[in-house]
Amino acid sequence: MIWLKFILVTSLLLGVGLVTSFFKADLPKAEIDAKYSNRQSQFFMTENRARVHFRDEGRSNGLPLLLVHGSNASLHTWEPWVRLLADEFRLISLDLPAHGLTGEVPDGRYDMEAFMATIDALRAHLALKQFVFIGNSMGGGIAWRYTLAHPQRVIALVLIDATGPPAWHLEQSVMAEAGQGQTPLAYQLLQQAWFRSLARYLDPAVLVREGVLTAYHPSAVVTKDLVQRYYELALRSGTRDATIQRFASYRADQHIDYDLRRIKTPTLILWGREDALIPVETATQFQNLLPNAQLIIYEQVGHMAMEEIPEKSAADLRTFLNALNSLEL
């Protein structure tokens, strides 16, 4: 009996020590907001009282481009394109709920419908009638969903290593299990209820670094500062709770039958051949279904073409947009 008590107490102490070793407190919102906002940063309040961070940059009377980041990223991912395209276009980027300097929102909704509602609220806030919708990864998944729902508002669609319909995700999961793809460890763990119950308290440093290295094909753009940005934004007060809730509602639209063939909008598909998150075959799936699409595949590029090869990808975007005729803005 004494030995049993000893084992229980020892196990408890080890458990407490383990949790303490990996525990990381939230970082204050004010501190993170000051570090990762700039002169172009603005905030507006949605009807559900969410405070949304966005930037409206470039040529004010230019063709408006709405730029939406991927899962666990932020509007900072578009900064290279903003520098390269600001001479001709109006570039609007935002941090989605549970991301960046928007972070946690009062109603606790972080599904695709909530994301599209946030984007439409920004559109209304800026009085945009039409715009070019550009999305990377999850942002691309939001972009084609929004275009299906509001085709009259989207002049052109640009998908950069975009997520496809839920059925495709299931196929990709099978491929990943067969060694034909790679899902970051953080994504795998956050889909498990037992891990979500602990994630609120754990230091995400290892998972953040692993996720970044998976997303970016070996590249000089992956610096200590870039990894630190992902890490500190993940620790912004309230964001871990929001991320946990987001993954708990993951694939809430999995039973919807999306017909991408209904999207007649001119579409540019940009994809990295070495994308370790979403296989390049997905780009061909999009091209085969979207009736007005063109595809560019980049060799030796991963999941983040707008950051890995900003000059080349921005030039291809400029060519595509300048080829569009009779735009009604």
Least confident of 9-23, 67-81, 120-134: 9-23
Classify residue 208 by burial, with Cβ atoms within 10 Å: 0-12, 13-18, 19+: buried
Task: Round to the nearest angstrom and report the end-to-end CA distance of the chain.
Answer: 79
How does DSSP classify residue 293? E
Q: Which residues contact 173 (CB under 8 A, 6 or more apart)?
A: 183
Tens of pLDDT, residues 197-245: 666 778 989 989 999 999 999 889 999 999 999 999 999 999 999 998 9
Asked if residues 92 and 121 have their Cβ atoms less than 8 Å apart, the reply is: no
Q: For a pLDDT cut of 70, what percent of the chain falls above it?
A: 81
**In this model, does residue 144 exceed pLDDT 90?**
yes
Average pLDDT over residues 83-105: 98
**In this model, does residue 195 exceed pLDDT 70?**
no
**In this model, does residue 181 exceed pLDDT 60?**
no
Asked if residues 69 and 96 have their Cβ atoms less than 8 Å apart, the reply is: yes
Average pLDDT over residues 165-169: 85
**Predicted TM-score of the model (pTM):** 0.87
Task: Quote the longest CA-to-CA distance of the chain.
Answer: 84
Tens of pLDDT, residues 242-297: 998 998 876 666 677 799 999 999 999 999 999 999 999 999 999 999 999 999 99
Average pLDDT over residues 28-46: 98
Give the model's pLDDT for residue 103.
98
Tens of pLDDT, residues 103-112: 999 999 999 9
Asked if residues 52 and 121 have their Cβ atoms less than 8 Å apart, the reply is: yes
Tokens representing 240? 């871990």
Higher pLDDT: 181 or 199? It is 199
Give the model's pLDDT for residue 257.
79
Higher pLDDT: 227 or 196? It is 227
Higher pLDDT: 154 or 166? It is 154
Mind listing the domains of the chain with CATH numbers? 24-322 (3.40.50.1820)
Q: Whole-number mean pLDDT of the chain?
A: 87
Higher pLDDT: 277 or 193? It is 277
Q: Which residues contact 306 (CB under 8 A, 6 or more apart)?
A: 77, 78, 80, 81, 136, 160, 313, 314
